[in-house]
Amino acid sequence: MVNFMRDVAVSTDVLHDGTTEELFERDIFKVDVRLFNYENELRQILGQRPIGYTSRDHRRPPKGIIVKKKADWPKIKNVGITMELDRTEGEVKYYKFVHNAHYRQLQREFWNAANTLNEEAILAILRECHYHLDSLLVMADVMSNQDEHRTARDLIERGIFCCESLLDARFRLTDFNDRLDYDEFENRAFFLLLHRHMRILIDRGLSNAAFNVAKLLYHLDPASDPLAILLVIDTLAIRANQPHVVLQIYEALKVLRCLQQLPNFAYSIALAHFQISLKSGDRSLADEALASAIRHFPTVVLKLLDRMNVQPDAALSNNFRMGAVYHERQSEGLRLLISIYVDHSHDLWRESAVLEWCEEVTAATMSTFHVYEDEMLAWEKLRCNGYSGTPANVRRHAVLWDLAPNPNSLLTDPVPPALSRSGYEPVPRQGPAQSSGSFFGNLIQSLVPDLDQANAERIGEVVGEIANMARQYIYRNNAGEEEHRRPNDPQ
Assigned domain for 3 exists = no
Out of 335, 367, 385, a domain closes at 385
Kindly state whether residues 63 and 177 are assigned to the same domain.
yes
- The residues that bridge with 148 in the sheet, in sequence order, are none
State the residue range of the domain holding 284: 248-385
Kindly state whether residues 269 and 161 are assigned to the same domain.
no
Kindly state whether residues 208 and 253 are assigned to the same domain.
no
Provide the mean pLDDT of the chain: 84
Assigned domain for 399 exists = no
Assigned domain for 315 exists = yes
* Phi and psi, residue 292, nearest 5°: -65, -45
Kindly state whether residues 212 and 294 are assigned to the same domain.
no
Kindly state whether residues 146 and 23 are assigned to the same domain.
yes
Assigned domain for 406 exists = no
Assigned domain for 453 exists = no
C-beta of residue 316 within 8 angstroms of C-beta of residue 322: yes
Residue stretches of the chain with pLDDT short of 50: 1-9, 14-20, 53-62, 427-428, 430-447, 449, 467-468, 471-491
Contacts of 476 (CB under 8 A, 6+ apart): 482, 483, 484
Kindly state whether residues 205 and 252 are assigned to the same domain.
no
Assigned domain for 273 exists = yes
C-beta of residue 426 within 8 angstroms of C-beta of residue 413: no
Kindly state whether residues 55 and 180 are assigned to the same domain.
yes
Buried-exposed string 2-14: b where 16+ CB fall within 10 A, e elsewhere:
eebeeeeebbebe
pLDDT at 150: 96
pLDDT digits (tens, 9 = 90+) for 36-79: 998 888 888 887 766 654 444 444 444 689 999 999 999 999 99
Kindly state whether residues 74 and 187 are assigned to the same domain.
yes
Among residues 299, 192, 218, 224, which one has the least CA distance to residue 465?
224
Among residues 213, 285, 295, 197, which one has the least CA distance to residue 243?
285
User: What's the whole-model pTM score?
Assistant: 0.83
Out of 325, 355, 385, a domain closes at 385
Assigned domain for 240 exists = no
Neighbours of 107 (CB within 10 A): 26
Out of 334, 361, 385, a domain closes at 385
Kindly state whether residues 257 and 302 are assigned to the same domain.
yes
Assigned domain for 444 exists = no
Kindly state whether residues 296 and 369 are assigned to the same domain.
yes
pLDDT at 23: 77
Kindly state whether residues 36 and 176 are assigned to the same domain.
yes
Distance CA 30, CA 172 (A): 12
Kindly state whether residues 318 and 188 are assigned to the same domain.
no
Structurally, how many domains does the chain consist of? 2
